[in-house]
Structure 1
Amino acid sequence: MQTHRHEGHALPAHVAEQIRTGIAAARERAEPFCAYVHDTTAIAEGAGRLRAALPDACTLLYAIKANSRPEVLRALAPRVDGFEISSVGELRKARAADAGARVVFNGPGKTWKDIEEGLRAGVDLFNVESTADLARLDAVAGRLGTRARVQLRVNTRRPLVTGTRQMVGVATQFGVDEEQLPEVIAAALAAPHIEVEGLHLHSVSNNTDAASHLAFVDSCLALAAELRARHGVPTKVLDIGGGFGVDYTGAGRHFAWDDFAAGLHERAEALTGTELVIEPGRSLVADHGYYCAEVLDLKHNHGQAFAVLRGGIHQFRLPAVLRADHPFAVVGVDDWPWPLDRPEIRDSAVALCGELGTPADVLTRAPRVGLLRAGDVVVFPLAGAYGWEISHRDFLSHPHPDFLTT
Structure 2
Amino acid sequence: MFNKILIANRGEIAARVIRTCKKMGITAVAVYSEADKQAPFTSMADEAYLLGGPRVQESYLNVEKIIEIAKKAGCDAIHPGYGFLSENGDFADRCASEEITFIGPASSVIRKMGNKVEARKTMEAAGLPLVPGLSRPLVDVNEAILEAERIGYPVMLKAASGGGGIGMQAVYSTEELIKAYEGNQKRAQMFFGNGDMFIEKLIDKPRHIEIQVLADQAGNAVYLWERECSIQRRHQKVIEEAPSSFLDEETRNKMGEAAVKAVKEIGYTNAGTLEFLVDQDKNFFFLEMNTRLQVEHPVTEEITGLDLVEQQILIASGDSLSFTQEDVKRAGHAIEARIYAEDPITFYPSPGTITALRLPKGEGVRHELAVNGSSTVSPFYDPMIAKLVVTGASRKEAINRMRAALAAYKVEGIKTNIPMLYDIISCKAFQQGDTTTDFVKLHY
Q: What TM-score does the superposition give when structure 2 sets the normalisation length?
A: 0.27
User: Which structure's CA Rg is the greater one?
Assistant: 1
Q: Larger RCO: Structure 1 or Structure 2 (Cα < 8 Å, ≥ 6 residues apart)?
A: 1
